[in-house]
Structure 1
Amino acid sequence: MPIIVVADHAHINGGQAKVAIESALGLAARGHAVTFFAAVGPADPRLESAGIATILLDQVDVTTTSSLARFGVQWLWNQKAAAALGTLLARHDPDDTVIHVHAWAKALSPSIGPVLAASRAPIVFTMHEYYLACPNGGFYDYPVSAACHRSPVSMACIGHNCDSRGYARKLMRVGRHVLMRHTGMIDNLSAVITISRLQREVLAPHLPADTNWYDVANPIDAVPLGHKDSTTDETPPGGFVFVGRLSAEKGAGLFAEAARLSGQQAIFVGDGPQRAELEAAFPEAAFLGWHDPDGVKQQLRAARALVFPSVWYEGQPLTVLESLALGTPVIVSDLCAGREAVRDGVSGVWFRSGDPTSLAAAMTRLSDDDTARRMSRAAYDAFWADPLTLDRHLDRLERIYRDVALRSATLGIGSRPASAALRNAAST
């Protein structure tokens, strides 16, 4: 089956790109003819080695641009992406091709919407975040560091600055969101994949009532190493570790504050805009910087617990699942979807989102060595009783592709002509 994977990035710079690339590699290994279409390089060298045709636009994204003013045109309407995607789709027979979109908001822009809508091929969309429903992609109010419950693009939404960099960018996000809504991107999706129950609950009120929903957990890159060696009193468990971007929405400052309250050391593996501020305010914490994937696994395996204090609606945090697979219990915010993988009091502990006292109490609970060892074994056993492997992920994707292809053929969706407005939008 020809499969066109659409993403902002062709290299791994986070969980979203990792899933897009790893699944593309897995699908190619199963014999599918995969094309990877992305705006930002460099391309992961494994794509070429796997025989995957890669269309790379050599553009920048919103996080790496040197000038938002110059980047703004691309961010609002990336004409180069629309033209290149249109050319690519024209070379494929829509009756036996599936388009799988993973990302568009950081570089590709709403311009790909009319191109997708004009295609007769089924379109599958994986919701790694919330950009189809929320202008800033997270239902998160950055200035106050809390979840946002305003209706997207309502007067209350438009009049409130929720952006981390100011109201001008918020208005650009609103404008881009309105453009996206009018491109047909949402209305022409054959299937929407969510990666957690929480994600669907948040998104469902904002998408069409007849949306075809599918649940597909992200694949976890892990091998069964067995229970940890530290099962005796002679070898106490390690420390409390945070892995990821040091930023407000990830709860980095909350972790540092809770660690001080509980008398524990906060260990940070990662970097981000809050690092300098946190280093100055919490000199007792350890800041280890970014690690490669193997280094992250070593840190997680050695840890007493992963602390995941995110204060926004994380879809399905890969780090939480990787930690459990390594036998490390997780202290997780009760707001994010990471809680779905953690059995409270068994393989980890839930705490009240945004509450440093609640997080400190959870850390104190896991500072007991016997408790940490018991939860470590439970975490490992629970994950490997039903592991989220790449093969399981690919099996599910293939079933969805067959479903949408069959539905398209049966209902005649694939032969529906694009409206004149969409044809004109795709060509402008």
Structure 2
Amino acid sequence: MPDKIERVVLFHDYSEALGGASYLVQVLIEELRSRDVPVTFFAGDTGTNFGRDDVEFIPLNGKSLLARSTIGALTKGLFNPPSLFRVRDWIRENDTPGTIYHVHGWTKILSPAVFGALRDVSQRVILHGHDYFNSCPNGAFFNYVTEQDCSLTPLSAACLSCRCDKSSYAHKLWRSGREAVRRVQTVGANANRMLLIHPGQARNFALGHWPAEKLVAVRNPVTPLAPQRIEAERNNGIIYIGRISAEKGADLAAKAAAMAGIPITFVGDGSEVDHVRAINPDAIMLGRQDRAGAAKALSRAKLAVMPSRWAEPFGLVALEAIGSGVPVIVSNRALVAPEIERAGFGLSANTANLEEFARTLLDLHADNARVKRMSTHGHKNYLNLCNTPESWANTIVNQYEQALL
């Protein structure tokens, strides 16, 4: 067995920080290179904005499935042979016993073909559970039609007959096909382990027949948007940061803020922007912002909200706000919700119940003393629920080393 990690090969749909998981890929690359670990990065996109020259960067020149024609998305999303050939050829030419393969994310541009390419080195493959793909066809263990959590065994008869997809039943069947293809690619040779971003995910992955010994929780790293505590108690209004989409509950935030009569600012972009504007015409829509822009918007807020309809496995934006000194009201479905409330960093609420959500917003927004306590406590102690980039990378490197034993 090799006595050290010789190279880490990362796979992700996007080569730039467009959101939570794609941002974390960049953090991981930075941390690995700071430890002098050689990195090869396969990205699904063209890599136009990737600028590192200390990484072997291999763009697969694909497009987001949402940007493809219907036929293109159906076919390339199900199985993309060029990706398989490119990755397989690299492995044949460059693999060593000390090379680790880390699949960070594959569902937006890449396809299950990547698992076919990795089959012969699967004992050194690490997957990352930023969502519930690699188990649940829709990636959420959530029924988007009934807006209820799902406990069906993925790809069982009950699962396949369930109309749970946010788009259509036909789309559900296509997603099920992708998961089936992924499993076929890994028959008898699954990944070495799955890194969960919260220990509470283990229950759902067990439904997908993942053995408990292959599930390892490594909480995400959090870097507060603001280095100094935001004096939230002096501010006014609510902020929502993230994708403006139905599953993220952007419309719920807009409605609850309107009911409570509290101004709300949205930072982000997505399919529900026009719908949110229609719901709450007074809402400030800043669109997608870089970290500096998001920090500026956050610095003016008294409260942040994370009202997702599904059970968010972590909630990076919530912890970034808390660490900056802005208390959060979070959906009680989120895995971190009870932890945030117990820690005194914010409140958990049934955000799908608009009356309860609005009342919770109104009560906390009016209580400056309580906001100050939460602000101070969260800014000081947010790391109780997450990692620093350094501790996160140290833990991941340790998992790589364990996979080489």
| Mapped pair 1:381 → 2:380 | yes
Q: Which residue of the other structure, out of 61, 83, 86, is the alignment partner of 1:84?
A: 86
CA–CA separation in structure 2 for the residues paired with 1:114 and 1:230: 50
> CA separation in 1, counterparts of 2:123 and 2:48?
25
Q: What is the match of residue 64 of structure 1?
A: 67
Residue equivalent to 1:38: 43
Q: Which has the greater radius of gyration?
A: 1
1:206-225, aligned counterparts within 5 Å? 206-209=208-211, 211-222=213-224, 225=227
Q: CA deviation at 1:193?
A: 0.5
Going from structure 1 to structure 2, the CA distance change for 1:209 and 1:304 (only over 3 Å counts) comes to same
Residue 359 of structure 1 deviates from its aligned partner by 1.4
Task: Give per-residue Cα distances to partners, 1:310-350, cap 9 Å, x unaligned.
Answer: 11122212101110110111100111123255134821000
User: Which stretch of the first structure deviates more once superposed, 334-343 or 351-360?
Assistant: 334-343
- Please name the residue that 2:195 is paired with: 193
Give distance in 1, aligned partners of 2:15 and 2:73: 19
In the alignment, is the contact (CA less than 8 A) between 1:3 and 1:98 conserved in 2? yes
- Find 1:282's aligned residue among 277, 280, 293: 280
Kindly state the Cα deviation for residue 114 of structure 1 after the two structures are TM-superposed.
2.3
With 4-13 and 279-288 compared, the bigger mean Cα shift is at: 279-288
How much does 1:304 deviate? 0.6
* CA distance in 2 between partners of 1:325 and 1:14 (Å): 18
**Which residue of the partner structure matches residue 396 of structure 1?**
395
Query: How big is the shift at 1:276?
Result: 1.2
**1:213-236 deviation line (CA, Å, top 9, x unaligned):** 2221222233773333466xxxx3
Question: Secondary structure of 2:244's match?
Answer: coil
TM-score after normalising by structure 2: 0.92
1:375-426 Cα offsets, whole Å, 9 max, x none, are 11111111257872211111111111111111xxxxxxxxxxxxxxxxxxxx
**Residue 142 in structure 1 maps to residue 144 in structure 2:** yes
The 2-side partners of 1:223 and 1:299 are apart by 10
Please list, as runs of the form range in 1=range in 2, the aligned pairs for 1:206-355 lying within 5 A after superposition. 206-209=208-211, 211-222=213-224, 225-229=227-231, 236-339=234-337, 342-344=340-342, 346-355=344-353
- The 1-side partners of 2:187 and 2:241 are apart by 34
Task: Say whether 1:117 aligns with 2:101.
Answer: no
Q: Tell me by how many angstroms 1:146 deviates.
A: 3.6
Provide the rounded CA distance (Å) in 1 between the counterparts of 2:323 and 2:60.
36
2:58 aligned residue (52, 55, 58): 55
Deviation per CA, 1:100-130: give whole Å up to 9, x if none: 1111222221112222122265111111111
Q: Partner of 2:221: helix, strand, or coil?
A: coil
Aligned partner of 2:176 in structure 1 is 174
| Contact 2:306–2:331 (Cα < 8 Å) also in 1 | yes
Q: Which runs of 5+ in 1 are unaligned?
A: 407-428
Structure 1, residues 197-221: CA drift from partner, whole Å, max 9, x if none? 2222221232332542222122223
- 3-state secondary structure, aligned to 1:379: helix
- 1:148 and 1:248 map into 2 onto residues whose CA distance is 17
The offset of 1:298, in angstroms, is 1.9
| Deviation, structure 1 residue 289 | 1.9
Unpaired runs of at least 5, structure 2? 1-5
Q: How far apart are the structure 1 equivalents of 2:404 and 2:222? A: 27
Aligned counterparts of 1:47 and 1:101: Cα–Cα separation in 2: 20
Q: Quick one: structure 1 residues 305 and 210, their matched pair in 2 at CA, closer, same or farther if it must change by over 3 Å?
A: closer
SS in 2 for 1:214: strand
TM-score normalised by structure 1 residue count:
0.87
What is the CA distance between 1:187 and its match in structure 2? Answer: 4.7
- Preserved contact between residue 40 and residue 57 of structure 2 (Cα < 8 Å): yes
The verdict on how the C-alpha distance between 1:263 and 1:185 changes in structure 2, with shifts beyond 3 A counting, is farther
CA contact (8 A) 1:25 1:47 kept: no
Structure 1 match to 2:154: 152
Deviation for aligned residue 1:31: 0.5
* Residue 26 in structure 1 maps to residue 31 in structure 2: yes
What CA distance in whole angstroms lies between the structure 2 residues aligned with 1:251 and 1:230? 23
Contact 1:347 1:375 in 2 (8 A): yes
Shift in Å at residue 191 of structure 1? 1.7
SS at match of 1:328: coil
SS for the counterpart of 1:119 is helix
The CA distance in 2 between the partners of 1:240 and 1:135, in whole Å, is 34
Kindly indicate whether residue 15 of structure 2 is the aligned counterpart of residue 13 of structure 1: no
Identity between Structure 1 and Structure 2 (%): 27
Question: C-alpha separation between the residues in 1 aligned to 2:65 and 2:400?
Answer: 31
How large is the Cα RMSD of the aligned pairs?
2.2
Q: CA deviation at 1:35?
A: 0.2
